[in-house]
Amino acid sequence: MISVEEALTTILARFHPLEAERVPLREAWGRVLAADVVAREAIPPFDNSAMDGYAVRLADCIGATEANPVVLRVLGEAPAGKASGFDVVPGTAVRIMTGAPIPAGADAVVMREETREAPDRVEILVEPEPAEHIRRLGEDVPRGSTVFEAGELLNPAALGVLASIGVAEVDVIRRPRVALLATGDELVPVEAPLAPGQIHDSTGPALEALLTRLGAVPVPLGTARDEIEDLRAKIAEGARHDLLITTGGVSVGDHDLVKVVLGELGEMAFWKVNMQPGKPLAFGAVGDTPVLGLPGNPVSSLVAFELFVRPAVRRMQGHARVQRPRLTVRLSHLLEKRMERRQFVRAWVHVEDGAYQACSTGPQGSHVLTSVARGNALLDLPPGAHRFEAGTLVQAILLEEGEAYAGRHPDR
Ligand code: AMP
Ligand code: MG
């Protein structure tokens, strides 16, 4: 039996970032940059006012106070959105709006609240600092500077930065296309009624959603029967994608033929990974396409997805960090482990009094998908120990985004 870490290391060695593609800015969110971005425009693109107020000459305003204001003649108004034609000569000021270009001759802005206004003139009530309330050309991003580097993740604010320097299209790592193949004579799609002995393919829609959430493109291939011919055809079709994920048929049953066909079509290793759920795992390649054969039990396949598929997909997407963050959490009740193996327990992690607490989401059988659906984390219980008392600190893998940890479990 190999460890989770050994399996992951072997898997990741086979994955590399995919090629670049050029996409419109709006489609670049969450993607990884394939090339450095050099700013062809500066941010800000010109000196402009940070306040509504008056553009003035410092030299005119020395010693200005409320009791002893400086009186300046107002030349006119400088709104945002057009070049200023004014020249602020000694003794004058320009009424200026936030974002408007600083007129020639001015070297500070006095905010409106620090003035008294009268027709055609203004009283300045404070002495401004040099360049006060002026946003300097290139102060955030100088022209010609590298604003983002290849390998960086584009978050929403990064799209804003790119928009502000006029980048309408960006080179990012393309999305991986991941084929999904369920196997099993008992499986029918969710739309079809069940004949005796049949079950719906439950893993397919779940894996599809996980891939979509990850930013990959799922390509569902439906279900293959437990027959060599059908498996061969569908696996060959799956191998035309960036990754093929199969579910089921990798265990020791008489009809577990996936490993037979994978071995025949490509190079394949079959592992028993020291974990529960999700022990059997196939990994290899058909042609250039890596293949991950996940176990059939729905929970096992979802846990194997989290531990092995997700990091592999993130590697193809060009992410530097491929693994989810782990957190130390406190058990809110006793957990007992039946097996010797390392166990990943479906749990609800939430913040209580500023600290993370975890409770189990219920029965942990490999077929009990509801306890995955009701959870937001996996607790990583090491092999060996069997009892984990309330209050014990354990490692949790967080599966959801921030808000999912904000409160108590809705059912508890
Ligand atoms: P297998 O490894 O193919 O023997 O599958 C193990 C168990 O998981 C069996 O009870 C299968 O019916 C079940 N199973 C396999 N694939 C799926 C699936 N896509 N959806 C729901 N259950 C499945
Ligand atoms: Mg099967």
Q: Do the Cβ atoms of 33 and 146 come closer than 8 Å?
A: no
The percent of residues in the chain predicted with pLDDT above 90, rounded, is 92
Please tell me if the CB atom of residue 187 comes closer than 6 angstroms to any atom of ligand 1.
yes
The domain containing residue 166 runs over which residues? 20-44+139-173
Which of the listed residues 157, 173, 189 is the one where a domain comes to its end? 173
- Which two tokens mark 229? 């011919």
| 411 domain-assigned | no
CB atoms within 10 A of CB 287: 11
Output the domain CATH number for residue 24. 3.90.105.10
Q: Is the pTM of this model over 0.85?
A: yes
- The mean pLDDT of 135-157, rounded to a whole number, is 97
- The mean pLDDT of 121-130, rounded to a whole number, is 98
Task: Place 264 in a pLDDT band, splitting at 50, 70 and 90.
Answer: very high
115 and 155 share one domain: no
| Residue 15 predicted with pLDDT over 80 | yes
- The mean pLDDT of 279-307, rounded to a whole number, is 96
| 412 domain-assigned | no
**Location of structure tokens 């009530």:** 125
| 249 domain-assigned | yes
Please tell me if the CB atom of residue 278 comes closer than 6 angstroms to any atom of ligand 1.
no
The residues facing 396 across adjacent strands are 327, 379
Task: Place 412 in a pLDDT band, splitting at 50, 70 and 90.
Answer: low
Pair type for strands 326-331 and 393-398: antiparallel
Task: Measure the CA dihedral 288/223/306/205, to 10°.
Answer: 130
What distance in angstroms lies between residue 195's CA and the mean position of ligand 2's atoms? 17
Return the pLDDT at 278.
82
Q: Do the Cβ atoms of 87 and 69 come closer than 8 Å?
A: no
Considering only the C-alpha atoms of the chain, give the largest distance between any 2 of them, rounded to a whole number of Å.
97
Return the pLDDT at 59.
98
Distance (Å, rounded) from C-alpha 78 to C-alpha 268?
A: 71
Rounded to the nearest integer, the mean pLDDT of the chain is 96
Distance (Å, rounded) from C-alpha 103 to C-alpha 87?
A: 6
Return the pLDDT at 338.
83
What distance in angstroms lies between residue 296's CA and the mean position of ligand 2's atoms? 6
| Residue 408 predicted with pLDDT over 90 | no
Output the domain CATH number for residue 87. 2.170.190.11
32 and 110 share one domain: no
Q: Do the Cβ atoms of 121 and 73 come closer than 8 Å?
A: yes
| Residue 411 predicted with pLDDT over 80 | no
89 and 196 share one domain: no
Which of the listed residues 77, 106, 135 is the one where a domain comes to its end? 135
38 and 78 share one domain: no
Distance (Å, rounded) from C-alpha 86 to C-alpha 138?
A: 22
What string of H, E and C letters represents the secondary structure of the chain? CECHHHHHHHHHCCCCCCCEEEEEHHHCCCCEECCCEECCCCECCCCEECCCEEEECHHHCCCCCCCCCEEEEEEEEECCCCCCCCECCCCEEEEECCCCECCECCCEEEEHHHEEEECCEEEECCCCCCCCCEECCCCCECCCCEEECCCCECCHHHHHHHHHCCCCEEEEECCCEEEEEEECCCEECCCCCCCCCCEECCHHHHHHHHHHHHCCEEEEEEEECCCHHHHHHHHHHHCCCCEEEEECCCCCCCCCCHHHHHHHHCEEEEEEECCECCCEEEEEEECCEEEEEECCCHHHHHHHHHHHHHHHHHHHCCCCCCCCCEEEEEECCCEECCCCCCEEEEEEEEEECCEEEEEECCCCCCCCCHHHHCCCEEEEECCCCCEECCCCEEEEEECCCHHHHCCCCCCC
Please tell me if the CB atom of residue 184 comes closer than 6 angstroms to any atom of ligand 1.
yes
Ligand 1, from 180, 181, 187, 208: best to mutate by most atoms within 8 Å of Cβ? 187
Amino acid type, 222: G
246 and 298 share one domain: yes
Any residues with CB less than 8 A from the CB of 263 and at least 6 apart, and which?
none
- The mean pLDDT of 15-40, rounded to a whole number, is 97
| 243 domain-assigned | yes
Please tell me if the CB atom of residue 253 comes closer than 6 angstroms to any atom of ligand 1.
yes
Q: Which atom of ligand 1 is nearest to the CA of 253?
A: 4
Distance (Å, rounded) from C-alpha 412 to C-alpha 401?
A: 20
Distance (Å, rounded) from C-alpha 342 to C-alpha 3?
A: 9
* Nearest partner of 46 among 111, 101, 116, 96, judged by Cα: 101
Distance (Å, rounded) from C-alpha 40 to C-alpha 47?
A: 17
Distance (Å, rounded) from C-alpha 201 to C-alpha 277?
A: 19
Q: Do the Cβ atoms of 154 and 166 come closer than 8 Å?
A: no
Please tell me if the CB atom of residue 280 comes closer than 6 angstroms to any atom of ligand 1.
no
Question: Could you give the angle at the alpha carbon of 241 between the alpha carbons of 237 and 245, nearest 5°?
Answer: 80
| Residue 48 predicted with pLDDT over 70 | yes
What distance in angstroms lies between residue 238's CA and the mean position of ligand 2's atoms? 18
261 and 386 share one domain: no
Output the domain CATH number for residue 358. 2.40.340.10
* Nearest partner of 334 among 377, 388, 378, 385, judged by Cα: 388
**Location of structure tokens 């994955």:** 15
77 and 129 share one domain: yes
pLDDT in tens, 237-260: 999 999 999 999 998 888 889 999
| 321 domain-assigned | no
Task: Measure the CA dihedral 150/156/161/165, to 10°.
Answer: 90
Return the pLDDT at 353.
87
251 and 359 share one domain: no
- The mean pLDDT of 101-120, rounded to a whole number, is 97
What distance in angstroms lies between residue 16's CA and the mean position of ligand 2's atoms? 31
pLDDT in tens, 170-209: 999 999 999 999 999 999 999 999 999 999 999 999 999 9
56 and 103 share one domain: yes
Q: Do the Cβ atoms of 54 and 109 come closer than 8 Å?
A: yes
- The mean pLDDT of 364-380, rounded to a whole number, is 94
Q: How many domains does the chain have?
A: 4
Give the residue, 45 or 407, on which the prediction is more confident: 45
95 and 179 share one domain: no
